[in-house]
Structure 1
Amino acid sequence: MFDGDDAVLVVGAHPDDEVLGAGGAIAKHAAAGDDAHALIVTEGTTHQYDDRDLIEQKREHARTCADRLGAERVHFGDLPDMRLDDVAHVEVNAVIEGVCEEVSPDAVYTHARREVNRDHVAVHDSTLVATRPGSGVSTVLAYETPSSTNWTPGGDGFAPSLFVDITGHVETKIEAFQAYESETRAYPHPRSAEALESIARSRGTDCGAAAAEAFEVLRMYR
């Protein structure tokens, strides 16, 4: 990882999940010369607003975010927002499998499984199908999503086993997240600039770095 020879894919259920969970890693991959991609599985607004103009606006925000991180491209799955638990599992699988076939990633990042948001859980499960043994993906990692992973009743259930030093990429992550104008919140909400920096600093103390992102290793073949 981070050697400039890999393709990586970050899978998120909604616009902004990709940067909240792995924005620092995306920026670090891009800076190292890796071919970084993001996949947004749902439309991001359908259920809440039913507004096609807002859907396109969020796509533009996603593209701006990707540009700020240095990612190569954002892919869109167009599945219904906040309703993935009503979508056939094979349909969600197919969206992720299709982008994996196109990108041929060495590493894939996805949601952790224990999440408040049910779309996140569906994306996690389908990512494991799309990256099953024989898929060509060598590493599958799960990220935490502020305001979902940490809001799970009874504890977040997130047990990171890999920490990525993002000391030089925290400001890039925050600037990229701020491309999502409709998703940013005031501190102390987890989706605020101050909270994202605080989370990065806290994860850094877990591994002896000034700032870090934390991941669960789901699969790793070497």
Structure 2
Amino acid sequence: MKNKILVVAVHPDDETLGAGGTLLKHKSMGNEIHWLICTTINEKHSYHNKRLQEIEKVSKVYGFDSVHNLKLQTMQVDEYSMSELIGKISFVINEVKPDMIYLPFFKDVHSDHRKIFEAAYSCTKSFRYPFIKKIYMMEVVSETEFAPSFSSESFIPNVFVDISDFIEQKIDIMNLFESEIDKVPFPRSEENIKALATFRGSSSGCKYAESFVLLKEIF
């Protein structure tokens, strides 16, 4: 049976860093993949138009079945009310009706990530959104690894996806976000993205993997 997947990217590139290989794998299996981008660069920013072009290129490469953009101001998500955020995210979820959702990690260091997680997770109650059957949190390099080092707030994955066949394409897609990738020791470098995939692969018996925290699964 075809699945419908929604990835909630606080910033465009989060979907690729956290679940790029997994999304490509889903697509190769005939599943629908949908992209919810939550934030945007201010229109007055010199990079605004370039970012829109990047999003369009990335969308085509993945073959997303739909792309939604809430156009919240990046790095200012905490200035929006929770009810406004929930309303915007709920609208998209009800439109897509995914059975599987990928969310940011609830303790990512970026406040935008934490606020979007809280709002999005509020939109997964089974009595209001009965079509949602699986909820995961993603690992986004440069955000997730900087969470406080307490067991209750650290990213401890319990789901691993073999992306060995898709790692090179994931890297190619990430390179489309020209301003978001740099050389080592920058966290979002080709080497470090591959290193994380290698590490997660070593934990799951494959060459390259992405890892997730399963929050809920309903059979």
TM-score (norm 2): 0.93
- Please tell me whether residue 146 in structure 1 is matched to residue 153 in structure 2: no
Q: Which residue does the alignment assign to 1:20?
A: 17
3-state SS in 1 of match to 2:178: coil
Once the 2 structures are TM-superposed, how far is the Cα of residue 8 of structure 1 from its aligned partner?
0.5
Report if the CA contact (8 A) 1:68-1:172 is conserved.
no
Which amino acid in 1 is paired with 2:67? V
Look up the equivalent residue of 2:132 and give its one-letter code: V
- The answer to whether structure 1 residue 95 and structure 2 residue 94 are counterparts is no
Aligned length, in residue pairs = 215
Which stretch shifts more, 18-27 or 154-163?
A: 154-163
Say if 2:148 and 2:154, in contact at 8 Å, map to a contact too: no
Q: Does 1:171 align with 2:168?
A: yes
Shift of 1:66: 2.5
Shifted more, 92-101 versus 210-219: the winner is 92-101
RMSD: 1.5
> What displacement does 1:52 show?
5.3
Distance, in Å, in 2 between the alignment partners of 1:120 and 1:173 is: 21
What are structure 1's unaligned runs of at least 5 residues?
A: none
**In percent, how many aligned pairs have the same letter?**
31
211-220 vs 127-136, which deviates more?
A: 127-136
- What do the CA deviations read for 1:104-141 (whole angstroms, capped 9, x no partner)? 11100010011110000011111111121130211110
Change (3 A) 1:53 1:94: farther
2:132 to 137, 142, 166: 137
Instruction: Give the one of 17, 21, 34 matched to 1:37.
Output: 34
Q: Deviations over 1:166-192 (max 9, x none)?
A: 110101111111111111111222211
Structure 2: distance between partners of 1:54 and 1:91: 27
Q: Which runs of 4 or more aligned residues in structure 1 lie more than 3 Å from their structure 2 counterparts after TM superposition? A: none
Which SS does the other structure have where 2:215 is aligned? strand
Q: Structure 1 residues 55 and 91 mapped into 2: Cα distance closer, same or farther (>3 Å)?
A: farther
TM-score computed with the length of structure 1 as normaliser: 0.91
